[in-house]
Chains A and B, each alone.
Chain A
Amino acid sequence: MSQDFEPRIVVFACNWCSYAALDLAGTSRMKYPPNFLVIRVMCSGRVDPQFILEAFRRGADGVLVAGCHPGDCHYIEGNIKALRRMTLLKKVLKEFGIEEERFRLEWISASEADKFVRVANEMLEEIKRLGPLRIEEAYQHG
């Protein structure tokens, strides 16, 4: 795979934990790759599997859903709903031919900026190894 492939990775980050962690990474001057397009949602339970499919369709090479740790959800169990949904979605993504490294659900609390940086670097490396998701080429006929 060519060295200059820069993946586009969409992050759905929950407002209460993960988005705060991303902010913390910034204010702490931690470095993380610029390939991550962050979308703030109120809760990981707000992330409909349709959003993830739409992200892949529109050219994302990877998608990360980040929420509060189980038990810490601002809405009590939104993240558990996300866990259930993403567990089922992962099976279907596999059948769609999307490698499992391209999609992750992670629990990242407001203080875990370092965890986000680690996850981001891991994902970037894995997706760079896989190469671009060639949806456009596969679907040029409609």
Chain B
Amino acid sequence: MDKPKIALYWCASCGGCEEAVVDLAEKILDVVNLVDIVFWPVAMDYKIEDVEKLPDGSITASFINGGIRLSEHEHVVKLLRRKSKLVIAYGACSAWGGVPGLANLYSREEIMRYVYHEAPTVENPEKIRPELKTKVEEKITLELPEFLPRLLPLDLVVDVDYYIPGCPPTPDVTWKAIETLLSGNLPPKGSVLGALDKSLCYECPLNDTKPEKVLIKEVKRPHEVIADPSKCLLTQGLVCLGPVTRGGCGALCIKAAMPCTGCFGPLDEVIDYGGKAISYFASIVDYTSEEEIEKALGKILDPMGVFYRYSLPASRLRGKIMLVER
């Protein structure tokens, strides 16, 4: 009767975070025993109207994944904020924008033009684009949500209580976060749940092989080398963002000989993840002349995609500077 109520919602995301919840496997049954799920569009048949009927503040916690890109996302998360005691940004997209947030390098018009006209897989001779309102018959007008000028992380749209990091959060992190929430012993507002407060290197199994001072002569891209899985990937020239990324994932990528791409996001003191990552990575490039530094760093063909892969909308500049049409 008095089980805590929870809601789950997705915004601009790939669905991986929903998958991550299901990845709790048999533990999901424990979750279902402990809480009532009142809204979960991807898995259960509740409508927005059902949420609207609930009294304000009656949902214990809303887990929201994905960044805010449509007016519909904005509407639903504001509604969930009103109905919930706690709002939790679940996953990298919700916390900092994530991969879909890289679209902030383009204007709305550029995105629409590419997606509906220019992409090689598009066949659209009549140049049809989605309209906010389309009249299909005399009395029937269909409506679509608005594509907002930029993608925003959840905390720029509503007040966020906690963050659960990852792309997607691992079952272990999700479970730890749920345990923390159910324990009633809540950490300070704004905390990151389920992860470490130290960098990935702290829990990395290759940490012992990292020399006192790492310096690299040649930057390598993952497809150019067969990485030695028993040696710190940085020393092999791979751009591993472990030193500036929050730990807690269990170093899953590293164990598969892939460098960290930073999906657990920044540590507490960092205000701009990409800026910090640039600071750290550039400083270990072992050259002293401008041309040589330029040449070595030139191997990073897409610095924005490497250093801001999950956090562009949460960066200080939020995306490419351009005048927003409205």
Contact = CB atoms under 8 A, between A and B. Distances in A.
Contacts of B288: 70, 77, 80, 83
A35 interface: no
Contacts of B191: none
Contacts, number: 106
B321 A97 contact: yes
Interface stretch (A4-12, A19-27, A52-60, A108-116): A52-60
B271 A54 contact: yes
Contacts of B287: 84
B278 A95 contact: no
Contacts of A74: none
Contacts of B271: 50, 54
B224 to A, nearest CB: 19
A139 to B, nearest CB: 6
B247 interface: no
A47 B155 CA distance: 28
A81 B156 CA distance: 34
Contact of B321 (A85, A96, A140): A96
Classify the interface of chain A: helix, strand, loop or mixed. Answer: helix
Interface in A26-61: 48-50, 52-54, 56-57
Contacts of A138: 321-324
B130 to A, nearest CB: 20
Contacts of A96: 317, 319-321
A57 B316 contact: yes
A87 B297 contact: yes
B275 A48 contact: yes
Nearest to A56: B317
Interface in A102-142: 133-135, 137-142
Given A87-B297, A92-B278, A54 B272 contact: yes
Nearest to B149: A141
A53 B300 CA distance: 20
Contacts of A92: 274, 278, 303-304, 307-308
Interface of B: 105, 148-150, 152, 156-157, 270-272, 274-276, 278-279, 281-283, 285, 287-288, 290, 293-294, 297, 300, 303-304, 307-308, 315-324, 326
3 tightest Cβ-Cβ pairs between the two chains A and B: A50-B275, A97-B321, A53-B316
Given A48-B275, A56-B317, A88-B281, 5 more contacts: A48-B279, A52-B275, A53-B272, A84-B297, A88-B297
